[in-house]
């Protein structure tokens, strides 16, 4: 029933237009600075396994996939963004029809780059089936839906997990176009400049969008999304006040050792 609903909602021409729009937008995406994790993604290219890039919201997972896609070449992959509302109602059973449209539009390719695949119920089934036919998958998703524990039951032994974090200090310096000095030959001025940059990094953090648009409260929005959507909603928690107090305690004591009993008290 769901399959018919999705296929009946859009004509083949509309689906082709969506796929073209997604591909063009992805290819034109600002790839920013090369991420340190890109090396790991490249090393996994020769494996038959799916590459699963997970991480906090807004840390640059799509950008990392775009960087890899540019290494592959424009004619080497299909791109699918399952966050697109036009995929609402799409089921794993619709994958064959979607693949047929992709071939008609782009020709035969052996690599899929997908964003937010966790939005598709049963996504692991069509991914596994296509992998068995020789396809390579690069997949992104946020941690709350792509936990290693869950993936172990979905793609057992068939994926390479890569967790992406906010900018490291080195990436932070690259983002600010600030040269990294030779640590073995630093002058007093070099040390002062580097210390100033470190202070800024510790205060501002490494979330790319928050650094790019400092005039907006993006970190607050991210914090609320993680706390209320990724934790409270996902785990059906009603004690929101207790969750807020716990989060405040942990953030306020970043260097303290904690235990379950201590937190419970």
What is the pLDDT at residue 151? 58
Task: Supply the CATH number for residue 154's domain.
Answer: 3.40.50.300
Report the C-alpha gap between 156 and 128 in whole angstroms.
10
What is the pLDDT at residue 123? 85
Label residue 3 by pLDDT band (50, 70, 90). Answer: very low
For residues 143 and 237, state if they share a domain: no
Expressed as residue numbers, the domain containing 178 is 170-203
Show Cβ contacts of residue 201 under 8 Å, excluding neighbours closer than 6 positions.
169, 172
pLDDT tens-digit series, residues 18-67: 999 999 999 999 999 999 999 999 999 999 999 999 888 899 999 999 99
For residues 176 and 152, state if they share a domain: no
What is the pLDDT at residue 4? 56
pLDDT tens-digit series, residues 108-154: 999 999 998 888 888 888 898 999 999 999 998 876 555 555 555 66
Concatenate the DSSP letters of all residues of 125-182 into one string.
Answer: HHHHHHHHTT-EEEEEEETTTS-HHHHHHHSTTSEEEEEE-SPPHHHHHHHTT-PPP-
Q: What does the pLDDT average to over 159-178?
A: 94
For residues 178 and 161, state if they share a domain: no
What is the pLDDT at residue 261? 87
For residues 145 and 198, state if they share a domain: no
**pTM, 2 dp:** 0.87
- Which candidate, 144, 127, 21, 143, places its Cα nearest to that of 84? 21
Is 212 within the bounds of a domain?
no
For residues 25 and 118, state if they share a domain: yes
């Amino acid at each position: 029933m769901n399959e018919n609903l999705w296929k009946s909602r859009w004509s083949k021409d509309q689906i082709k237009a969506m796929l073209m729009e997604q591909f063009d937008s992805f290819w034109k995406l600002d790839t920013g600075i090369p991420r340190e994790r890109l090396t790991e993604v490249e090393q996994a290219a020769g494996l038959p396994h799916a590459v699963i890039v997970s991480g906090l919201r807004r840390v640059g997972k799509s950008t990392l996939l775009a960087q890899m896609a540019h290494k592959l070449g424009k004619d080497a992959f299909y791109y699918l963004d399952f966050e697109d509302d036009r995929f609402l109602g799409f089921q794993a059973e619709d994958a064959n029809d979607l693949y047929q449209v992709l071939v008609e539009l782009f020709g035969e390719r052996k690599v899929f780059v997908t964003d937010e695949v966790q939005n598709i119920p049963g996504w692991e089934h069509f991914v596994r089936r296509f992998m068995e036919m020789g396809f390579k998958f690069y997949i992104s998703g946020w941690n709350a839906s792509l936990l290693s524990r869950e993936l172990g039951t979905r793609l057992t032994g068939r994926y390479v997990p890569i967790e992406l974090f906010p900018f490291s200090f080195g990436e932070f310096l690259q983002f600010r176009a600030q040269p990294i000095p030779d640590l073995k030959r630093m002058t007093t001025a070099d040390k002062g400049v580097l210390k100033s940059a470190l202070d800024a990094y510790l205060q501002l953090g490494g979330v790319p969008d928050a650094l790019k648009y400092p005039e907006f409260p993006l970190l607050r929005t991210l914090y609320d999304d993680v706390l209320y959507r990724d934790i409270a909603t996902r785990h059906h928690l009603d004690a929101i006040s207790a969750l807020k107090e716990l989060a405040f305690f942990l953030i306020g004591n970043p260097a303290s050792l904690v235990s379950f009993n201590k937190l419970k008290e």
